[in-house]
Amino acid sequence: MNVITGYLKDFASLIFPELCQACGDSLVNTEKHFCTTCIYQLPYTNYHLVPDNRLAKQFWGRVNINAATAFLYFNKAGKVQNMMHQLKYNNQPQIGEELGKMFGKQLKETFPYHLAEAIIPVPLHPKKLIKRGYNQSETFANGLAEILQIPVVTDLLFRDKAAESQTAKSRSSRFENMKTVFKALDNQHSYKSVLLVDDTITTGATLEACAFALQEIGIKEINIVGIAFTE
């Protein structure tokens, strides 16, 4: 930033102070995206330190997952809901990246997450991608990648358009629908262990379907990393 843009930024911040994306308070100079109070008070799950956590248990008997964690609890009407809303509906991709960097610092020291060879974000529905302009899970993946020094790979897992339009008409269960939507390309990759990244995890049906698709092309260790988990 040069002197003039620096002045302009200072001037703009007098009129439009940057706000904390979690609580809405004005940020002071040293703060970025979130205020210090929120950073201390956010509902961290610390699931990466607990192998048999509630999120991991959700997949038991459904699909073979190596490990599963989420950065935060999604508490309705709370700070996490605010920031997820900003990330998804208010054109703020940098929030996903910031959260990815914050969580990346925790995962950097944690087995088995730091041993993954690729980070794969859950693909967004094409219509949503056009409307939003970015995949929020991919912005989170980019933040994780910067800290963990593991590449983000977006050309392996995709949504099958034909299956998607079929499932829109079908009456079968949500998971059966999902299972046909996600496909993985076996383009001579050599990944054995990946981080599969999502934004808010609720039923886990999407992740289950993605994990199946990735296992079909020989990726043995699927480690799930979400931004938030709804219990």
Question: HSE (CB half, 13 Å, CA atoms) of 47?
Answer: 25
Q: Rounded to the nearest whole angstrom, what is the least distance from the CB of residue 109 to Zn ion in the complex?
A: 26
Of the pair 99, 219, the CB lying nearest Zn ion is at 99
Contact of 34 with 43, CB cutoff 8 Å = no
Taking the least distance from each CB to Zn ion, the nearer of 83 and 122 is 83
Binding mask 172-211 for Zn ion (x = CB under 5 A): ----------------------------------------
Q: What is the DSSP letter of 48?
A: G
Using CB under 5 A, which residues numbered 12 to 41 contact Zn ion? 20, 22-23, 35, 38
The DSSP string of 5-31 is: HHHHHHHHHHHS--B-TTT-PBPPTT-
| Helix axes of 174-181 and 205-216: crossing angle, nearest 10 degrees | 40
Q: How far is the CB of 140 from Zn ion (least distance, A)?
A: 19
Total residues binding Zn ion (CB under 5 A): 5
**Secondary structure element (H or E) that encloses residue 123, with its range:** none
The nearer residue to Zn ion, 36 or 149, going by C-beta atoms, is 36
Rounded to whole angstroms, how far apart are CA atoms 28 and 97? 20
Between 38 and 156, whose beta carbon lies closer to Zn ion?
Answer: 38
Nearest distance from C-beta of residue 31 to Zn ion, angstroms:
8
The contact pattern for Zn ion, residues 35-74, with x = CB under 5 A and - = no contact, is x--x------------------------------------
Antiparallel, parallel or unpaired: β 118-121 and 221-229: unpaired
Q: Output 42 or 145, the one with its CB closest to Zn ion.
A: 42
Angle at the Cα of 93 from the Cα atoms of 134 and 199, rounded to 5 degrees? 80
Closest distance of CB 17 from Zn ion, Å:
13
Contact 93, 199 (CB under 8 A): no
- Cβ 231 to Zn ion shortest distance, Å: 23
Q: Which residues form the interface with Zn ion (CB under 5 A)?
A: 20, 22-23, 35, 38
